Amino acid sequence: MSNNALYTDLSGYYDLLCADINYQAQSHSVRRLHQLFGNNGNTHLDLACGTGPHVRHFIDFGYSSSGLDINQPMLDRAKLRCPEAHFSLQDMCGFTVGAPVDLITCLLYSIHYSGGIERLQACIASAHAALKAKGVFCFNAVDKNRIDNHSFARHTVEQDGSRFSFGSGWNYCGHGERQSLKVSIEKTTQDLTQRWEDEHAMVAVGFDELKRLLQAARFEVHVLEHDYEKIIPWDGVSGNAVFVCVKV
């Protein structure tokens, strides 16, 4: 049986979808980058925080951490994971904070959920306004010019008597400011299989253009290899990278 029953609320499957992601390694790497490039502060905001795994690690590192997302069910789960954190229902392309913070993160390529260049610029401007002097905005991104439309990552997880198969892949038509993230979920319980497929509209941007947008917003920009074990400059070839942006 195939239907869209899984579509109604992805929050219940989000952690399974991301089960192969090493949140601790990502968070630790960003903390090191903040120590190297930042202002020695300890206030943190995670954009598109989902169910809060990055927030959890930053709290455990000693940060006063908070998160925002546009999906309330995700925030409800984040609050259960991090009861000591503050979470708000906001759009990352037009958010405000009660007081400036030292570090803003937007990981898992979530910066692309901006959808278009104009909204991406608004996200960058909101992040700049929300940071203290020498604060750091850190995120990872994919270069539209290096996307392989045939590449599709997959993994399988067993839970509560069901087998979940997840897949995701980038797609770019070769022109314009829109790309998409294709996502598939298949849940099999005994002889019943449910399938869900969707395509999320994402902003398409090259790294040179992205760097110019950040510099225009008065960020000092460092582009690094997408390697959470090492801190090395981007090689100019790979299709994804970590951006460390210091408010100037």
**What is the architecture of the domain spanning 21-142+205-247?**
3-Layer(aba) Sandwich (3.40)
pLDDT in tens, 137-169: 999 999 999 999 999 988 888 888 888 898 899
**Of 215, 220, 213, 45, the residue nearest 120 (C-alpha):** 213
pLDDT at 2: 32
Provide the pLDDT confidence category of residue 79 given band limits of 50, 70 and 90.
very high
**Of 196, 202, 222, the residue nearest 211 (C-alpha):** 222
Is the confidence at residue 80, as pLDDT, over 90? yes
* 202, 115 Cβ separation under 8 angstroms: yes
77: three-class secondary structure by DSSP: helix
State how far the Cα of 68 lies from the Cα of 47, in Å rounded to an integer.
Answer: 5
> Any idea where the domains of the chain sit in the sequence?
5-10+145-203, 21-142+205-247
pLDDT at 143: 98
Task: Tell me which fold the domain 5-10+145-203 belongs to.
Answer: S-adenosyl-L-methionine-dependent methyltransferases (2.20.130)
**Of 38, 158, 148, the residue nearest 103 (C-alpha):** 38
Alpha helices in the chain (DSSP H): 11-17, 23-37, 53-60, 72-81, 117-130, 207-216
